[in-house]
Structure 1
């Protein structure tokens, strides 16, 4: 952040007669990944993480981040006059109450916030006599010179061979729930919801194959959909059919709903921004604020989606193995360029994925962390931060790909030389947690928070833990972070159900030295042996670093699991990799045993 930007923002706030302003890291669709035109938080502070919020209050500025980004935020703030704080509603509210005074006004952009997100702030600010005020225009947009243009790429049909269900069937299925709830329409709040419901994809957001869109689904299964004019092709119109009206202005959505005599709308409060709710209430439309039924329907993958995900993970695993097989020689200087670091590793892995059928993009910015950078949970390598790698220490690579038949996400921790002291113990304890989740059988109705401790127990046994969730949902050629299911400490009250895809990624991070994470994607399936129970099946196919495993710390059942997994990886991937990689793959999947 340049001092000029902060000064310009403070002048703009004074012009709107507010003393403070909130800058979240999101867009009007509440997307995790946002177009360059919506990277307001990064423009002001330099922080590029996927979750955070800045607040300007008088002459003070703070950046709020969670435990995943503590180290990254400190590095990116540098010497700027920004206070780093914890991203928790109570901490944000307390800071604002200290930085502002009674009678002051805190401005916010209603398109970038949800009512549940603002509720705890509003309650505390009211107690302090500070007013929360929605601004008509975002002041940053007025002072951001050379702001990137909003994306407007073409939306495209996503074939039935990948979706397993046509849009008309999906719309009718969801519309039946509208009738049950006695609602006239469902608010389609974001591009992911629209992508699933209408079987469309796009390229408007980095790593997320969607077109910027929102709309209404009516009780009869017809719909109105907002898309930019440049996003709408004749092929798309034919795909959507006569029952889907396309508009190119967001306010036209509400006009279309009024023509349909919509009086009651179901809207997800966690997805719907404050501006939309204001527009609905201005039209005296009653709102049912409950979780969007599409979110859960989208999370339950059908047989076609699961088969596609299996296929995508196999191709992706082959690409990852090609990368891992070449990595030691690249680090040792075996490539033409003698300098090989974290950034070059990202480029090498990307080049391997690009050779695989259907690859369209990374599913997120690859986390490529060598030694101390690996301890930054969501580290994003840059030319300035990239460390040169050598044949020593530990390297963490967390990456994924977008393919038309599936979305992948995998983390492997690699020993580039003799492991540092206790690294094998730390890695093996993380592996024990990974195996505990992977091999778990649990009754239907179990939520992710009820099984999270299985992943952490081995670390807890020696007073260790990690500051991130154990697992997140994953979409089908959609977001790599998809709800509502997850595995973590926080309550979700969302039961894991057959067909859901979730990550299994316990970790451990020793600040300044190394990071360890082992991540596979798994899907939930019915137990064939025990009726009423569920279990996981692995989708990810890639070896787990044998050099970092201490077999003596593993129970016999854990060792059996690891050897069986490696046998499956070897059998599945051997036909798909080069001869050089075959030799590496055989060695990387050799059975491990305890000392006799």
Structure 2
């Protein structure tokens, strides 16, 4: 939830003024100051104490960069957040709609600053890749970027939240499927193949996966603040040891446990050892500029961490857990939709139940399910025009009431000990317009197209992205977000390195059997409605009649179990194969979930009606 609303964005005048005053202090003498979204681990979602960009700008989205100069303030964000940012930013800020023609990216903007400018940033919040890029761009203009160890936003942030002290617990091997000892052995082998003597680990989900530990330092993400150093003869974990439960501590037998901030002194010592042995540590994009400067660039092998790839391909225990938790998640969704339909249509809930009311009910039903720990992200519960705000999250008091005459979009997920879920459905409880039905059907055709395609091993998500957009493109429509992202196993709901997207990052990481990825095309009309259909899918091998050149083939197998509203489908726009896909999917949903629901209950009856063949 954000403290800014459509009716009352945060007044940032005093905050920005105080920051500018510090920038002009002779100690710093800065012409511009960059405030990224990320924390010291380059996390996508951050703890309250790390929401510096949100504090200074008022924009609460998870992605974006703020830049404050001595005369202006700019917020850069991509198409997922254009609508949200335009609502949340006050008069002090200029919204830079990245992706729109003639709007510069952050690097291009920096290149356009007056020559001789000094640009500051907290070096612990910047990846070394970005630092190198910014340095090159600014030096070409006679300008420079400087690491300012004192975070200037922290200096003006009154009542700043403190660092969390949540406990860290052991995730039993019946959920993780592999011991940390075996995982470390794999990591060492992969590091050796790359020509490195070890790995410096800064990404929080990598550390949680590696040691089979989970925490709660960042809302919705079962992570904990830590670093790790894996060398040929030592495994070190830098963490506040007082947070470790007794079982967690016992599980780490053989691991050197050191204080969180001791990473810097450890890297100083490691630097000398690496120089002497002429070896290097793997450092990926989650390792900050500050850490690299401490270790020394000459001691770094800048490669993707082997943990990223190992974590992305789930073992059989993780895959089975994912399948099972999605069944329980489907039960919760059926119970919720049965309740919601009854409340809106028969119990006077129309224009009375709010977006937050129904999101809270969904959370309560999820938490009733076995092994559920909580949500995997803040529920996107959005009716009518709010649905067009791609990553909208309702705030109580400013949220809309559900209107049966408007489209309702809900994107939600749960964290379970045995997996992470993410599902989006778009529903209309009244009579949709012909245009709404056409848009929905074109989104559905894209979803089916991506779900149905068989592709050779080695295919990347960049190549597959067009499958989800083709029907929309035929009508001159599109959407400004990726089509699919990886998902962790009781970890981050967004997990790399793979994805299905038009962005260049999807070029380098092919989909592999055992990966989890979402299939979520959409369409959004600002001020009117939003449509998205999302299933979480497992990448599986697919048996084909032939195997050209000995290659293997893959496809997506949905693990999400929730009906797709047939009332919104224009059946005449579907091919025979697409109709068959809908009916087969709904039969699978019915066959799996109906035995787990009380016969005759609202959930059972709702599921029965909404899985009937078309």
Q: Same fold (TM over 0.5)?
A: yes
Pick the aligned partner of 1:533 from 533, 536, 553. 553
Per-residue CA shift, 1:344-388, capped at 9, x if unaligned?
121111111111111112111111110111011111111243111
Verify: 1:219 aligned to 2:232, yes or no: yes
- 5 Å-filtered alignment, 1:482-521, equals 482-491=495-504, 492=506, 493-521=508-536
Aligned residue number for residue 399 of structure 1 = 412
- 5 Å-filtered alignment, 1:16-95, equals 16-77=28-89, 79-87=90-98, 90-95=104-109
CA contact (8 A) 2:540 2:555 kept: yes
Do the aligned partners of residues 529 and 244 (structure 1) sit closer, same or farther apart at CA in structure 2, a change above 3 Å counting?
Answer: farther
Distance in 2 (alpha carbons) for counterparts of 1:251 and 1:234: 27
Do the aligned partners of residues 233 and 389 (structure 1) sit closer, same or farther apart at CA in structure 2, a change above 3 Å counting?
Answer: closer
Distance in 2 (alpha carbons) for counterparts of 1:280 and 1:217: 14
Do the aligned partners of residues 106 and 256 (structure 1) sit closer, same or farther apart at CA in structure 2, a change above 3 Å counting?
Answer: closer
Distance in 1 (alpha carbons) for counterparts of 2:404 and 2:126: 47
SS in 1 for 2:434: coil
CA contact (8 A) 2:118 2:145 kept: yes
Aligned residue number for residue 193 of structure 1 = 206
Per-residue CA shift, 1:99-142, capped at 9, x if unaligned?
x4322211011111112224443333223322211111111111
Distance in 1 (alpha carbons) for counterparts of 2:516 and 2:49: 31
Do the aligned partners of residues 157 and 346 (structure 1) sit closer, same or farther apart at CA in structure 2, a change above 3 Å counting?
Answer: same
Unaligned runs of 5+ residues in structure 1 are none
CA positional deviation for 1:257: 3.7
Distance in 2 (alpha carbons) for counterparts of 1:523 and 1:427: 24
CA contact (8 A) 1:224 1:256 kept: no
Verify: 1:367 aligned to 2:380, yes or no: yes
Pick the aligned partner of 1:235 from 228, 244, 247. 247
Do the aligned partners of residues 259 and 575 (structure 1) sit closer, same or farther apart at CA in structure 2, a change above 3 Å counting?
Answer: farther
Verify: 1:159 aligned to 2:159, yes or no: no
Distance in 2 (alpha carbons) for counterparts of 1:80 and 1:332: 42
SS in 1 for 2:33: strand
CA contact (8 A) 2:96 2:104 kept: no
CA contact (8 A) 1:152 1:211 kept: no
Verify: 1:432 aligned to 2:445, yes or no: yes
CA contact (8 A) 1:90 1:120 kept: no
Distance in 2 (alpha carbons) for counterparts of 1:247 and 1:285: 26
Which region of structure 1 is more displaced relative to structure 2, 299-308 or 418-427?
418-427
Distance in 1 (alpha carbons) for counterparts of 2:109 and 2:255: 50
Distance in 1 (alpha carbons) for counterparts of 2:502 and 2:485: 12
CA contact (8 A) 2:383 2:403 kept: no
Pick the aligned partner of 1:443 from 456, 468, 472. 456
Aligned residue number for residue 8 of structure 2 = none
Which region of structure 1 is more displaced relative to structure 2, 435-444 or 257-266?
257-266
Do the aligned partners of residues 581 and 397 (structure 1) sit closer, same or farther apart at CA in structure 2, a change above 3 Å counting?
Answer: same
Pick the aligned partner of 1:289 from 302, 307, 331. 302
Aligned residue number for residue 10 of structure 1 = 20
SS in 2 for 1:68: coil
Which region of structure 1 is more displaced relative to structure 2, 528-537 or 555-564?
528-537
CA contact (8 A) 1:264 1:288 kept: no
CA contact (8 A) 1:527 1:534 kept: yes
Give the structure-2-normalised TM-score: 0.92
Per-residue CA shift, 1:421-454, capped at 9, x if unaligned?
3111111111011011111111011001111111
CA positional deviation for 1:335: 6.8
Verify: 1:150 aligned to 2:160, yes or no: no
Distance in 2 (alpha carbons) for counterparts of 1:252 and 1:242: 21
Pick the aligned partner of 2:196 from 166, 171, 183. 183
CA positional deviation for 1:92: 2.2
Per-residue CA shift, 1:507-526, capped at 9, x if unaligned?
01111111000000001111
CA positional deviation for 1:234: 3.6
CA positional deviation for 1:172: 0.5
- 5 Å-filtered alignment, 1:283-362, equals 286-332=299-345, 334=347, 339-362=352-375
Which region of structure 1 is more displaced relative to structure 2, 234-243 or 83-92?
83-92
Distance in 1 (alpha carbons) for counterparts of 2:184 and 2:269: 18
CA contact (8 A) 1:113 1:273 kept: yes
Pick the aligned partner of 2:185 from 172, 175, 184. 172
Output the aligned Cα RMSD.
Answer: 1.9
Verify: 1:550 aligned to 2:570, yes or no: yes
Unaligned runs of 5+ residues in structure 2 are 1-10
